[in-house]
Structure 1
Amino acid sequence: MLGSNTFARRVRAGAGALAVAVVATVLVGCAPDECGSGDSCAVSFPADAKSKIDETVRKNMDAGLIPGALVTVHAPGRGTYTQAYGVADLATGRPMTVDDHVRIGSITKTFTATAILRAADEGKLALDDVLSKYVPGVPNGDTITLRDLLGMRGGVWDLVGDSDFAAQLVTKTPGEWRDGDRLRAITAHPEHAKPPRTNTEYSNSEFVLLGLVLEKVIGKPVHEVLDELARAHGLQETSYPVDATIPSPASQGYTYFDDAATNVTSRNSPAIFGAAGTMVSTISDLATYAPLLAKGDLLKPETSQARQQFTSGTAGGAPFDYGLGLQRFGPWLGHAGGVLGYTTHVGYLPDTGAAVAVAVNQYTVPPTLLRITASDIWGSIVEQLYPESLPGDRPTPTIPSPQLPAPADLSTHLQQAFDTTLAPTQKTLRVAADDKDPELITKLAKVYAGYSMTFRVDKLTDFDGTTLLATTTVSSPDSKRPMVIPFTAHDNTWRLDTNWVCESLLLGGESSPACT
């Protein structure tokens, strides 16, 4: 969705997550056992490795108010570990099981991309065809190619910027959104369109349009196209629903519009996300899919190779590497996903054949409120099991670790930090990178100035003396919502995490030299 760790920011791109550091664990060699249905399935992993994964997952769930989570790790020659945590349904208390279906969000984009690439292999289209050949009326459609759309380089304005579309994500009782509204939102804002091949910038719109291309070329509804593709991959529990329902058993998805979790399972109709984020799957199917995606299953070798030509860009202000419907996280290949109520993350490490998949059933927009997602947990597990695969600097515990503040004291310090009438020198809290911008905390307070917020820290979660998460209730005159505020250990004190501050500034239209 590691503080200032570059790798963590790339993991976070597209899902809105904060990865935290944990102690690396080396697995011993063992043969994987068979894994059946049930609440959980644990095989072959040594007890200390399993316990560290469990501790990491549960800490993140607790801090991030996540009801349930699913994890699978496939480590060839070492074993397989699949586990369900928490509850799938807050109303009934039903536990999450490894058979539960979840919405996989933007992992849908990988299926859409494979379908387009497969159609190119079959001569039904060419990747250098212009968009207007299939979908008229899109700004710059005469120069945008299908290859541009696959690589997030089409310059198409992301429809999440449309106020009516955004209401589907942030409003408790939004108006009805119909299937044709996606294209309307994309074509109605030519002033926001950018020339293609200028930048790599995450845009859901580009894959919505590719779904329309598939329907035109294949002559079938996109749900049929992607369902057939999932079957061709051998994924029996992966599908594109035709309505807002999820196959049974299904984990419910939750969002915080106020201080209570709201069940939003039925809010995610195909009309909202289309070919950019509608599909559902299980944790076992996701883990099975990871190597198929990375190795180019169903594609010609040269097409698979073209798919892995990555460019660097931004997603929500964070850096990310994108191929043709494929993300790269260091040496890991896969994709992250997030739709209202759910986040997912799947990755495959070619050098070892390892696959790690994570899904959780809570996602709240904007992600700066409750920023812990499946990508957070995924990054933590990878750091445990494959620390050598992570590029960039990773935080190390300070000696001694900073003393944990009392929640009541930290509440007071946060109230002071967000007070726009106080100078930075009058505030007890600092930002980790404020040596690059002494006004960083003032800019943060300015972003939130219009909300008249009060803070109550409810609990603190410490990750090995490097990262501290403060689960906080934030109240304003007309609302009360939870917020996870991250802190980083710096000079034996806890400072506000720079990435979180910078993401907040981005949402508020502010900038800082500390955020470059």
Structure 2
Amino acid sequence: MRYSFSRRRRVRAGIAALGIFAAPLGAGTAVATEPPGPALFATSSASAPTPAPSAETDFPELTPAVAAELDRAIQDVMKEAGVPGVTVGLSAPGKGQYLRSFGEADTAIGAPMSPGLYMRIGSETKTFTVTALLELVDEGKVGLDDPISDYVAGVPNGDKITLRHLAGMRSGLFNYTGDEDFSKALTSDPDRFFTPQQLLDYSFKHPVAFQPGAEVQYSNTNTVLLGLVVEKAGGMPLHEYIQKNVVEPAGLRHTSFPTDAAFPRPHAHGYTEQTASGEIEDATDWNPSWGWAAGAMISNLQDMRSWAKTVATGTLLTPETQAERLKVDPAGTTGDGYGLGIFNVQGWIGHNGSLPGYQSLTIYLPEAEATLVVLMNTDVAKDGVAPSTRFGKAITGIVTPDHVYDFPAEPAQPSPDDS
């Protein structure tokens, strides 16, 4: 069995580990070797030959020629990485839009992937949870430099760790998804319901990795704690607060925070090798409670295309708070760094998501006002590279060669039994 559970990853050493688990898995068996042809609908503002990107926006017209190039690149990634199905949305004002679905949403019956399907979005949930927190900051109900001990008891270093440290992945708290007992509990019973406190208990039995603010280390524990802060300061359950104060004001009609394994239809089936057997299985109906504030949400292409700009430009926040959000801790790799529940990778601002069966990528390039969303129904990595990273790199390499979304490949990690 190959799990990334046993080894922590640091953002400053490469923020390739931004999914719900601590790091990408090692190479996995391909789910599909030959992706079926695309189910597509595309529009373009022009049909002329591919022009060079303009100096002002550095983004090309999404002509049929560019669309054909993108088609080839995406299908190449599918074949190389064994991705069953993927949906892509790419657009910029005045440049047209590229909307495509390739492959299968359900490999058992050969149902095609399509843009309207619901998908689990994993760690993109963090952008919603941290937005909720920052709204409370704007309302004066919490402060970014408040210690977490003001809101949650029993946190190691709780009197030193601030909400800012948590939102920016600078707390030093152990990532509960890296705990061996957690991995066994999840994979032995994927239907199991986890409470936030149970998730924290997996983390708190481990020593802190460093003093608050000393390093950047991605940890789902941080966002679970922020979810509890939102509940306490907001006066209602997290899923209700996010629905009322984030999802609805953002105009998102197909985005939800489930409290059980219920999955709106129509949805794509998701395939993972993060299983007790180590074999690829259908993880569609796994209970997402174990991700909670860090990774439980569901959405679709339409909503995530809208959310990309909303979260990157701070539509729901004051300019001052958004400016705080976008301050990144340098990652020292191909990316610029991690802010408050958001990253900057070569100018693309947003987040990715990964949980068993699904990966996603939602990013926005401010200088071109360009939006890219990629949703896929597998989290199986190949050669240490997450499929979302492969797609992001291939697509941005074509349309924004000066701003290529990329994370370094990570070596396969040993299973807990091997460490």
AA partner of residue 323 (structure 1): G
Aligned to 1:227, which of 240, 243, 263?
A: 243
Measured in 2, the distance between the counterparts of 1:11 and 1:390 equals 15
Measured in 2, the distance between the counterparts of 1:339 and 1:209 equals 19
Task: Map residues 75-86 of structure 1 onto 2, 5 A cutoff.
Answer: 75-86=92-103
Measured in 2, the distance between the counterparts of 1:381 and 1:293 equals 21
Contact 1:12/1:318 (8 A) holds in 2: no
Q: Where in structure 1 do 4 or more consecutive aligned residues deviate above 6 Å?
A: 317-320, 505-508
Aligned to 1:142, which of 129, 154, 159?
A: 159
Instruction: Give the CA deviation at 1:63.
Output: 2.1
When the two structures are superposed, what TM-score results if normalisation uses the length of structure 2? 0.81
Instruction: Give the CA deviation at 1:135.
Output: 0.5
| Structure number, greater radius of gyration | 1
Instruction: Give the CA deviation at 1:220.
Output: 0.9
Q: Which residue of 1 aligns with 2:411?
A: 503
Aligned to 2:75, which of 58, 83, 90?
A: 58
Aligned to 1:284, which of 302, 324, 340?
A: 302
Higher RCO (C-alpha under 8 Å, 6+ residues apart): 2
Contact 2:393/2:405 (8 A) holds in 1: no
AA partner of residue 226 (structure 1): I
Task: Map residues 51-450 of structure 1 onto 2, 5 A cutoff.
Answer: 51-167=68-184, 171=187, 173=189, 176-179=192-195, 180-189=197-206, 191-228=207-244, 229-256=246-273, 257=275, 261-270=280-289, 272-313=290-331, 321-364=337-380, 367=381, 371-390=385-404
Q: Secondary structure at the match of 2:412?
A: helix
Name the Cα RMSD after superposition: 2.9
Instruction: Give the CA deviation at 1:153.
Output: 0.8
Measured in 2, the distance between the counterparts of 1:259 and 1:47 equals 42
Measured in 2, the distance between the counterparts of 1:368 and 1:164 equals 26
Q: Which residue of 2 aligns with 1:476?
A: none
When the two structures are superposed, what TM-score results if normalisation uses the length of structure 1? 0.67
Instruction: Give the CA deviation at 1:177.
Output: 4.8
AA partner of residue 209 (structure 1): L
Q: Which residue of 1 aligns with 2:50?
A: none
Cα 1:173–1:298, aligned 2, differ >3 Å: closer, same or farther? closer
Measured in 2, the distance between the counterparts of 1:313 and 1:225 equals 32
Contact 1:71/1:84 (8 A) holds in 2: yes
Instruction: Give the CA deviation at 1:185.
Output: 1.3
Identity of aligned residues (%): 36
Q: Secondary structure at the match of 1:42?
A: coil
Cα 1:391–1:360, aligned 2, differ >3 Å: closer, same or farther? closer
Instruction: Give the CA deviation at 1:155.
Output: 1.2
Q: Which residue of 2 aligns with 1:489?
A: none
Measured in 2, the distance between the counterparts of 1:127 and 1:381 equals 36
Instruction: Give the CA deviation at 1:313.
Output: 4.2
Write out per-residue CA displacement over residues 249-281 of structure 1, whole angstroms, 9 at most, x where no aligned residue: 1111111346863110111422x0110011111
Cα 1:173–1:182, aligned 2, differ >3 Å: closer, same or farther? closer
AA partner of residue 298 (structure 2): V
Instruction: Give the CA deviation at 1:506.
Output: 8.6
Instruction: Give the CA deviation at 1:507.
Output: 8.0
Q: Which residue of 1 aligns with 2:41?
A: 41
Measured in 2, the distance between the counterparts of 1:188 and 1:320 equals 32
Contact 1:200/1:312 (8 A) holds in 2: no
Contact 1:104/1:337 (8 A) holds in 2: yes
Measured in 2, the distance between the counterparts of 1:267 and 1:370 equals 24
Measured in 1, the distance between the counterparts of 2:299 and 2:208 equals 34
Measured in 2, the distance between the counterparts of 1:283 and 1:372 equals 19
Measured in 1, the distance between the counterparts of 2:256 and 2:413 equals 38
Contact 1:64/1:370 (8 A) holds in 2: no
AA partner of residue 77 (structure 1): G
Structure 2 unaligned segments of length 5 or more: list them: 1-12, 26-37, 45-61
